[in-house]
Chain A
Amino acid sequence: MTILVIAEHDNASLKGATLNTVSAAAKLGGDIAILVAGSGAAAVAAAAAKVAGVAKVLVVDAAAFADQSAENLAAQVVAVVKAAGGAISHVLAPATTAGKNVLPRVAALLDVAQISEIVAIESADTFVRPIYAGNALATVKSADAVKVITVRTTAFEAAAAEGGAAAVEQVAEAGDQGLSKLVGRELTKSARPELGAAKIIVSGGRGMGSSENYHNVLEPLADKLGAALGASRAAVDAGYVPNDYQVGQTGKIVAPQLYLAVGISGAIQHLAGMKDSKVIVAINKDPEAPIFQVADYGLVADLFEAVPQLTAAV
């Protein structure tokens, strides 16, 4: 049996989320193959071949994959699964916006269910996944021939990026579906660690009051801690920070060593995204704020006094 992992990349480098997905694949038992569909993505294929535990890297390099469109990528994945004639038992991708975009398409084209955002594997056909914003965990069993799965990266350690020596094989190109065209991307530039990979996250909510406050108060602390910056939905909606800062049920799921929630009330949708953090600190002026129910250390204070003091003290 072969487990196919869809590489997430930007044609230049393999994204860390793929490494967590490989670890999930390793728990299923079987040969792991990584599919790298890209354009000018030789470096990605080379990186994929070095990942520990990977038996094979399947490569298709063509203009159709330059922008990683869901339509072209899904058609390619389906072609690879069909060409394997039943040998591929599982198709996995990280539960990132990229994985969530493409994998349901793959599942529908294969006429199978998708199992979204698994956090544990009980056996080759039985998986655990959160539902209702993580307020319940469901164990589900799939009866489909091919299991199509997205993986919550925070629930699985990253596989070692070095140490493997997988065979690299070219596969036939499925072609351009010609359905969509990338107009442009506006990517948030930051020298800080990515939210998904950060050891420490400093996150601000509506309590920050304005974009200026968010940056003036939280950035010095994040700089000192080498932390990533996050936010609640309210802070994003109010325009304090870009959309990709949002932590929560419908934003990013994070699990750092230390999560500092500043001026965040702790709505269930926010908790869904950060309650698996190792240590949670909450700074809020309202002693009744629900965030204190999940915080390891709670400080009832005005953030505009407490955060600068904290920045000075660490």
Chain B
Amino acid sequence: MKILVPVKRVVDYNVKVRVKSDGTGVDIANVKMSMNPFDEIAVEEAVRLKEAGVATEVVAVSCGVGACQETLRTAMAIGADRGILVETDVDLQPLAVAKLLKALCDKEQPQIVICGKQAIDDDANQTGQMLSALMGWPQATFASKVAVGSGKATVTREIDGGLETLEISLPAVITTDLRLNEPRYATLPNIMKAKKKPLETLKPADLGVDVTPRLTTLKVVEPAKRSAGVMVADVAQLVEKLKNEAKVL
């Protein structure tokens, strides 16, 4: 069984981004870029399924600029067998990514696609669900546990009220939540090995997909800052302030 794992190159989660003064976007020049954390969890899960003998091949896919190659190498260092880069300079929105992934699914015929639940830059939380819809496949989003059987998977999902377990037929799309696993660190030998793994580059046109954005960003601004608060000396003062100043008790 083949597993496809879409991995997005995003600003590292530790970086506090700055809005550009001209309001056109956030400044990502010279900031650290990493694999979207939810996608690391996705790669880890796929690799574990391979190590468990459930999957036979793990293919990582990244869509975007040429530098996404680094993200694919990271995926291969964790254990993906090969990488596919769909290269474009166009600002890709989730629907466009889902269409590119659909074209790759038609070609590669994976049984499972494991996406992250959300990219931490656009905070969209859309791509996995969209891909699943375009394929006409079942979806199990926000997964915290995955068990793959023959022709089906049982997935526990994190929902607002607690947890929910679904049984879905395969092929299917699964999206990862934080508690699914703890991704391993790529070791130096594995990073070296990853450099030799196959990496194929395609263009959206090769896949026959129109990636023109549907949404136009008119402006990007910084949110209103909270005004600085005060430090209180002890609990008594805190209670006094909450009662008489903030009037919330």
User: Residues of A at under 8 Å CB distance from B?
Assistant: 69-71, 74, 96-98, 100-109, 111-117, 126, 130-144, 179-188, 196, 200, 225, 233, 236-237, 242-244, 249-250, 252, 257-258, 268-269, 275, 278-281, 292-301, 306, 309-310, 313-314
- Which of B125, B226, B232 counts the most A-chain CB atoms under 10 A from its CB? B125
- Give 27 pairs: A residue, B residue, CB < 8 Å, sorted on A: A97-B158, A97-B159, A100-B141, A104-B125, A104-B127, A108-B98, A114-B95, A131-B26, A132-B123, A135-B26, A136-B220, A141-B215, A185-B162, A186-B164, A187-B162, A196-B160, A225-B249, A243-B179, A244-B161, A250-B38, A250-B177, A258-B249, A295-B229, A297-B230, A298-B232, A301-B235, A313-B235
Q: Given B168, B218, B231, B248, which contacts A279 in the complex, CB threshold below 8 Å?
A: B248
* Bound CA span A115–B122, Å: 11
Whole-angstrom CA separation of A278 from B248 in the bound complex = 9
Q: Are A134 and B158 CB-contacts (below 8 A) given A105-B133, A108-B133, A299-B235?
A: no
Q: Could you tell me the distance between the alpha carbons of A119 and B238 in the complex, rounded to whole angstroms?
A: 32
Bound Cα distance from A179 to B215, whole angstroms: 31
Cα A1 to Cα B179 in complex, Å, equals 42
Contact A250 B117 (CB under 8 A): yes
Q: Which of A70, A233, A278, A279 is in CB contact (< 8 Å) with B178?
A: A233
Q: How far is the CA of A97 from the CA of B165 in the complex (A)?
A: 14
On chain A, the residues within 8 Å of B159 by CB distance are 97-98, 185, 244
Given A184-B165, A298-B230, answer yes or no on A138-B220 (Cβ-Cβ < 8 Å): yes
B211-249 interface (Cβ within 8 A of A): 213-223, 226, 228-232, 234-236, 238-239, 241-242, 246, 248-249
List the B side residues contacting A252 at CB < 8 Å.
160
A180 CB to closest chain B CB, in angstroms? 4
Residues from chain A with a CB closer than 8 A to the CB of B120 are 132-133, 249-250
Interface string of B125-146 (1 = CB under 8 A from A): 1111111111001111110100
Quick one: given A70-B141, A139-B219, are A297 and B232 in contact (CB under 8 Å)? yes
Q: When the two chains form their complex, are residues A180 and B168 in contact, meaning their CB atoms are under 8 A apart?
A: yes
Partner pick for B223 among A74, A105, A135, A144, CB 8 A cutoff: A135
Q: At the interface, yes or no: B109 with Cβ under 8 Å from chain A?
A: no
Q: Are A181 and B229 in contact (CB under 8 A)?
A: no
CB-CB < 8 A to A243: which residues of B? 144, 158, 162-163, 177, 179
Report yes or no: A314 in contact with B249, Cβ–Cβ below 8 A. yes
Q: Contact check, B234 vs A299: say whether CB atoms are below 8 A apart.
A: yes
Residues of chain A lying within 8 A (CB to CB) of residue B236: 313
- For residue B121, CB closer than 8 A to chain A, the reply is yes
| A130 B248 Cβ-Cβ under 8 A | no
A residues near B228, Cβ cutoff 8 Å: 293
- Give every chain A residue within 8 A of B205 (Cβ-Cβ): none
Q: How far is the CA of A82 from the CA of B235 in the complex (A)?
A: 59
User: Is B110 on the interface with A (CB-CB < 8 A)?
Assistant: no
Known A-B contacts A126-B218, A299-B235; the reply to A250 vs B178 at CB < 8 A is yes
Q: Which candidate, B11-19, B58-66, B74-82, is the interface stretch facing chain A?
A: B11-19
Q: Which residue of B lies closest to A114 (CB)?
A: B126
Given A104-B130, A131-B26: 7 more A-B contacts, CB < 8 Å: A97-B159, A104-B125, A105-B129, A180-B169, A250-B120, A258-B248, A298-B232
Cβ-closest chain A residue relative to B213: A113
In the complex, the chain B residue whose C-beta lies closest to that of A113 is B214
| B131: chain A residues within 8 A (beta carbon) | 108
Contact of B124 among A106, A114, A314 (CB under 8 A): A114
Contacts of B94 in A (CB 8 A): 104, 113-114
Q: Contact between A108 and B215 (Cβ–Cβ < 8 Å)?
A: no
Contact between chains at B17 and A180 (CB < 8 Å): no
User: Which residue of the partner chain, among B19, B126, B168, B238, contacts A104 with CB atoms under 8 Å?
Assistant: B126
With an 8 A cutoff between CB atoms, is B1 at the interface? Answer: no
Chain B residues within 8 Å of A200, by CB: 248
Residues of the A chain whose Cβ atoms lie less than 8 Å from the Cβ of B213: 113
B177: chain A residues at CB < 8 Å are 243, 250
Question: Chain B residues with Cβ under 8 A from A140's Cβ?
Answer: 215-218
Residues A132 and B26 in contact, CB atoms below 8 Å apart: yes
Q: A98 CA to B239 CA in the complex, in Å?
A: 38
Which B residues lie within 8 Å of A225 (CB)? 249
Report whether A108 and B134 are in contact in the complex, using a CB–CB cutoff of 8 Å: yes
Q: Are A180 and B218 in contact (CB under 8 A)?
A: no
Complex Cα distance A280/B78, Å? 40
Q: Which A residue's beta carbon lies closest to that of B118?
A: A250
User: Distance in Å from the Cβ of A48 to the closest Cβ of chain B?
Assistant: 19
- Residues in A neighbouring B158, C-beta threshold 8 A: 97, 243-244
Is B88 part of the contact surface with A, judged by Cβ < 8 Å?
no
- Quick one: which of A74, A188, A292 contacts B231, CB cutoff 8 A? A292
Q: Which residues of A contact B217 (CB under 8 A)?
A: 138-140
Min distance, Cβ B209 to any Cβ of chain A, angstroms = 12
Closest to A94 in B: B160
Which residue from chain A places its CB closest to the CB of B164 in the assembled complex?
Answer: A185
CB-contact partner of A116 in B126, B161, B169, B230, under 8 A: B126
In the complex, which residues of chain A have a beta carbon less than 8 angstroms from the beta carbon of B215? 113, 115, 140-143
Distance between A51 CB and nearest chain B CB, rounded to angstroms: 20
